[in-house]
Structure 1
Amino acid sequence: MINLQKNNIDIGNYIVDWYLHAGRQDLPWRNNISPYRVWISEIMLQQTQVKTVIPYYKRFLGKFPTLDSLMVATEDEIIALWSGLGFYRRAKNIFKAKEKIRLELNGKFPKDFEELKLLPGIGESTAGAIMSIAYKKSYPILDANVKRVLSRFAKVKETSLSKRDKKLWEISSNVTPKSDIFEYTQGIMDLGATICTTKDPNCLQCPLNEICASSYNVEAPKKISKVVKIKPVRELDFTLAYTNKHILLFKRNQETFWEGLWLPSEDPKSHNIYNSKSIKQHNVNVHHKLTHLDLNLNINLLSYNNIFKVKTNAEHCWIKKTQIDSFGMPAPIKKIISTL
């Protein structure tokens, strides 16, 4: 492994120069920079690729362009804008964070690194990115792209994830420059996303190729072996009641996946659905993959002439089919509803 301090290696200038002529400066969150806009983009980019995030980011900022506008948002409104992006806990964390800002911070976004980390959903790296990009203060970051760049650059060989991360944080702290921090932070993330990719890194175009310990050696560093886990498969049964214009939905309150989203009934008997006479019935089976779980959705579709009263304490409502974009719901459910 390279000793950066011993060899007096400074990668900051290389990355800054590369970013200024080859970085992705046209990304929507890199225009009209504000702490709020950086925060939203960084949360969306957690575990999600840039090309997927862009339309969701634009839609979110279209609805809530400023922190002040977000202050009045409900959790349902935020989750609705998140529908289809996945990892819905991120959306719930945005709601929790904005409530903390509203109630405890006088509606002002934090300017302090430690204070940022007290907001739900913001860890060491996300706080560092916000400080570096929004406030142009020098803080190291270590997202997945940066990990890959630094692991290869310094040829990190630690054999456990915890030891590797500890070493990478040390390296990131050592190489993060005091000046041009905005350009450096954007640049090293871009470098990992576009040049130093997981497969087939483009060493020829990399600004670090002459000083990188793994240059032109795509196998370095070796990937740490993980225990291969077989994803469990779960069966879910839903009953979707609908009329020509309306859909009956229930808010899922279980502390599990899809918590807080709107779904068809999972308990049609207690929800009084079978007490009304349907005019048409058919079944749909959908297979849906989550990161940690495979789902088999069995959906019983019941068509009615008119809406009916539902006898339950569960949070529910009949919504117009034209309103489905205003309710947070999983992509496969939304897709089925759009066909009715």
Structure 2
Amino acid sequence: MGYRVAIVGATGNVGREMLNILEELEFPVDEIHAIASRKSKGVEVSFGDKTIKCQDIEQFDFSKVDLVLMSAGGEVSRAWSEKIGKAGPIVIDNSSAFRKDADVPLIVPEVNPDAVKDAKKKNIIANPNCSTIQLVTALKPLHDAARIKRVVVSTYQSVSGAGKEGMDELWNQTKAIYGLGDARPKKFPKQIAFNVIPYIGSFLEDGSTDEEQKMSDETHKMLDPDIKVTVTCVRVPVFVGHSEAVNIEFDRPIAPDEARAILREAPGVLVIDKQEHDGYITPVDAAGEHAVYVSRIRKDPTVENGLNLWVVSDNLRKGAALNAVQIAQLLDETGVITSSSGYRSITV
């Protein structure tokens, strides 16, 4: 016997990846339910070699499942996650709705697995922001070795982070620029094809955006509230895969070779770092992969005890769906939920 699992938002980019990764990792699923809004009722999605039809969230009985993977946006999560949790199953929520809630653990399994002990407070676990997940996965082993004082991050975030509409807009604008259609922006505030946009989310009073604030707040909640974090988030014309230029200041000297050795032993991390014309990772290389890749590890001579890193990961996988399924694995491993079946853990 395995678990009874529901995917809310099953027709979206991340929802479909959740279905794929549950199958890839052989998570013990006894029943699988695809849940979506009423307008998507009956839409078919794939789970392994099976095809399942989406059910209406308004009519589904969540008391009949053990685990809910939620990826339908913050508005839907705020309306439904607590109701679902009170019905019995644990909700792993991919939105920002509950990340700041003190009673809701925010988890990256390679970073703060012990936080799973609080899962039963509301029967909700928050999946962090996609850019934060890859950042803290790379920072955690370095912070354990040499305490981090300050981090400066510039992100290069793919359009898939804005959903299917974002991917469609990049595709359509690229064609339009060559004379085949309308290149005016619809999803993004400015043209994204052959351009970069230094704005993701909404502006806050201090001039930063809520996307930038999320990365700071979530790093503090999961890793260390004393780390100073400053972030600039940028949307780039890449379909899948987020990249980050990360500058770190430590409280003791740490050489690039020491950092490479630490990161090579770190769970979830792969170091690809050769001083050659192709000795680094790009988003194209990371798409479809599970790891958080680290390249361009080098000393920053302008600050005391400084290092620079280049961090890349598939934002639909480790940045969202994979991390959610790994949280489900963690729930099983720690006995927060129980099943008589086993599964194949993913290691990178």
Q: TM-score, normalised by structure 1?
A: 0.27
Bigger helix fraction = 1
Q: Higher strand share goes to which structure?
A: 2
Which of the pair has more CA radius of gyration?
1
What's the TM-score, normalizing by structure 2? 0.27
